[in-house]
């Protein structure tokens, strides 16, 4: 029941903040990040009105998804994608892959999709903090990379994703603002196979700032499900 309360609380909070920003008419997608949490927690969230959820490991998603007995709208993949996991990931029919971070992985996806005559919505992950430890294309390479990936006809680029800094959320504000600028810039380029609909940024600790800077897709885990215990991950 705690999860249902948290879902309700976060939804109200998002609505109040959108209203304060004059953005109440806009649709915001709340992606519940369910990594490390058990299937019954996912089901509880789905019953409480969550319709999109995200996992960051293909192996873990392969184990959990078949066990989910409550219907949902979209499974999102938000973690670093390795080429040897692509077929498994595609078998789970992700609504959106947030984490395409190289032309190489886009090409591998394109080849796998072509073999089964499928299309896939993706986001391009941008590493705004330029931290070595994070995946994502660098800010300076983003446009070139998007132009190249837009040539893959099986992929539809639906927007951008980024992970803010893990320290004080205000530190990410100028970086989120830069993301929004990049988002608008790509939108104006009007490239084939590019529909800039989603700007995926904002997690439990920084979604307020992300909303203020123009995010329309939030990925929230611990604020819904409580502290993660990575030991629980199998």
Element (H, E) at 211: helix 207-212
Distance CA 208, CA 197 (A): 20
56 binds ligand PLP (CB under 6 A): yes
172 binds ligand PLP (CB under 6 A): no
Contacts of 132 (CB under 8 A, 6+ apart): none
Q: Are 112 and 84 in contact (CB under 8 A)?
A: no
83 binds ligand PLP (CB under 6 A): no
Which of 53/183 has CB closer to ligand PLP?
53
**Between β-strands 120-127 and 137-138, what pairing exists: parallel, antiparallel or unpaired?**
parallel
203 binds ligand PLP (CB under 6 A): yes
Contacts of 9 (CB under 8 A, 6+ apart): none
Q: Binding pattern to ligand PLP, positions 12-51, x when CB under 6 A?
A: ---------------------x-x----------------
Closest distance of CB 204 from ligand PLP, Å: 3
Judged by CB under 6 A, which of 10, 32, 78, 149 binds ligand PLP? 78
In the region spanning residues 100 to 139, those forming contacts with ligand PLP, defined by CB under 6 A, are: none
- Longest alpha-carbon distance in the chain: 48
222 binds ligand PLP (CB under 6 A): yes
Q: Give the chain's length.
A: 234
Which of 122/150 has CB closer to ligand PLP?
122
Measuring CA to CA, how many Å separate 157 from each of 175, 187, 206?
21, 11, 25
163 binds ligand PLP (CB under 6 A): yes
Number of residues this chain uses to bind ligand PLP (CB under 6 A): 13
Which of 187/205 has CB closer to ligand PLP?
205
220 binds ligand PLP (CB under 6 A): yes
3 binds ligand PLP (CB under 6 A): no
Judged by CB under 6 A, which of 52, 76, 158, 219 binds ligand PLP? 219
Determine the interface stretch with ligand PLP among 101-109, 171-179, 180-188, 198-206 (rule: CB under 6 A): 198-206
- Cα 67 vs. chain centroid, distance in angstroms? 22
Contacts of 212 (CB under 8 A, 6+ apart): 17, 21, 173
Measuring CA to CA, how many Å separate 204 from each of 68, 121, 220?
24, 24, 5
Binding site for ligand PLP (CB under 6 A): 33, 35, 56, 78, 163, 203-205, 219-223
């Amino acid at each position: 029941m705690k999860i249902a309360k948290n879902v309700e609380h976060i939804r109200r909070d998002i609505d109040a903040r959108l209203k304060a920003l004059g953005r109440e008419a806009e649709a915001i997608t709340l992606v519940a990040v369910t990594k490390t949490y058990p299937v019954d927690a996912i089901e509880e969230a789905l019953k409480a009105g969550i319709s999109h959820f995200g996992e960051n490991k293909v192996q873990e998603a392969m184990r959990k998804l078949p066990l989910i007995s409550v219907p949902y709208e979209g499974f999102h993949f938000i973690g670093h994608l390795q080429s040897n996991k692509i077929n498994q990931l595609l078998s789970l029919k992700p609504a959106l892959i947030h984490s395409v971070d190289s032309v190489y992985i886009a090409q591998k996806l394109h080849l796998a999709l072509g073999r089964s005559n499928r299309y896939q919505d993706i986001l391009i992950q941008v590493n705004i903090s330029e931290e070595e430890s994070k995946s994502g294309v660098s800010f300076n390479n983003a446009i070139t990379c998007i132009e190249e990936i837009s040539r893959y006809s099986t992929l539809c680029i639906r927007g951008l994703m980024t992970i803010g800094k893990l320290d004080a959320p205000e530190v990410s504000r100028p970086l989120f603002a830069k993301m929004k600028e990049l988002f608008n810039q790509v939108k104006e380029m009007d490239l084939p196979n590019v529909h800039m609909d989603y700007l995926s940024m904002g997690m439990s600790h920084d979604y307020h700032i992300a909303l203020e800077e123009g995010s329309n897709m939030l990925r929230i885990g611990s604020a819904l499900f409580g502290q993660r215990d990575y030991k629980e991950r199998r």
